[in-house]
Amino acid sequence: NQRNAKLYNNVGHSLESQGKYREALEYFSVAVKIQPDDIGAHINVGRTYHHLLMYEDAEKAFRKAKDLLPRPKTGESYQARIAPSHLNVFLNLGNLISRNISRLEEADELYKQAISMRVDYIQAYINRGDILLRLNRTQEAQKVYEQALHFDKKDPDIYYNLGVVFLEQKKMDQALFYFDKALKLNPEHEQALLNSAILIQENGIRNLRKVAYERLNILLRRKSANERVYFNLGMLAMDEKNITSAEKWFHKAVQIREDFRSAL
């Protein structure tokens, strides 16, 4: 039975990787029927429902997986009892319910629970910090990201997120410092490239204009340009009094998003 369930899960994963979510769901659902106490199988079902935008069904599946997690024995830490892959259920459920702004506190509790079970669970810190930012609790978000840095000093996302915290706090020098740290670790970190360039342009940091151009051009070369990339190239050209170039970039921004009024 266990072997059969694994087989169905494997086929489901293969179909999921091809974007065939409905077919994948059929296989994951059979795996759950064969082995109803398989936490991973319920997570697979929930994740596939999420892909299919069937949010209520996804939540039910994730809650079922969460209910199956073993309870710690007296005096034993949770960490000793739960497989790291099964802790994903907290992230999956948190990501799902945080779509609803009225449930952000509930999502925060899930991430806190995950961190209490595995103190070095970096992704849970990152997700929790994001929720705290959305709740305008920037000081708490800062502390959460700093805790994450204690466990992993080489994750560019942590530095990027700290940059966002300082941006929210209007501490531009510190924001740029952390965006730069993220880019040292990953020179193609798209959000750090874009947001550091926007920060440089909007704050009129003349001596870094060339850096902003270079960063936006990396996004162009990587075909990762959205309307904000073109718009900010236009604004940099305006700062240089190059009206012809600015018009070209603004036109491209509007081509991508017709309602992008800032560029008009």
Three-state secondary structure readout of 57-113: HHHHHHHHHHHCCCCCCCCCCHHHCCCHHHHHHHHHHHHHHCCCHHHHHHHHHHHHH
* Residue-level pLDDT at 26: 97
* Residue-level pLDDT at 259: 73
Inter-helix orientation angle 243-256/227-239, to 10°: 170
* Residue-level pLDDT at 123: 95
**Site of tokens 């082995």:** 35
Highest mean pLDDT among 68-72, 117-121, 151-155: 151-155
* Residue-level pLDDT at 222: 86
Residue 254 reports pLDDT greater than 70:
yes
Q: In Å, what is the CA distance from 152 to each residue of 26, 49, 138, 140, 216?
A: 38, 32, 21, 19, 28
- The 8-class DSSP code of residue 206 comes to G
* Residue-level pLDDT at 85: 85
Domains and CATH numbers, the chain: 5-188 (1.25.40.10)
Instruction: Give the residue from 244, 247, 170, 235 showing the smallest Cα distance to 204.
Output: 235
pLDDT in tens, 172-214: 999 999 999 999 999 999 999 999 999 999 999 999 999 999 9
Mean pLDDT of the 65-80 span? 73
Single pTM value for the model: 0.86
* Residue-level pLDDT at 158: 97
Cα angle, residue 144 at apex, residues 73 and 160 outer, rounded to 5°:
135
* Residue-level pLDDT at 57: 98
Rounded CA separation 161/58 (Å): 28
- The 8-class DSSP code of residue 225 comes to -
Largest CA distance in the chain: 72
pLDDT in tens, 29-68: 999 999 999 999 999 999 999 999 999 999 999 999 999 9
Q: Are 171 and 190 in contact (CB under 8 A)?
A: no
| Tokens matching residue 255 | 């081509």
Q: Which residues contact 167 (CB under 8 A, 6 or more apart)?
A: 175, 195, 199
183 compared with 70, residue with greater pLDDT: 183
262 compared with 184, residue with greater pLDDT: 184
Residue 140 reports pLDDT greater than 80:
yes
Rounded CA separation 143/232 (Å): 31
Evaluated on CA atoms 66, 67, 68, 73, the torsion sign reads positive
pLDDT in tens, 81-139: 677 788 999 999 999 999 999 999 999 999 999 998 889 999 999 999 999 999 999 99
* Residue-level pLDDT at 160: 98
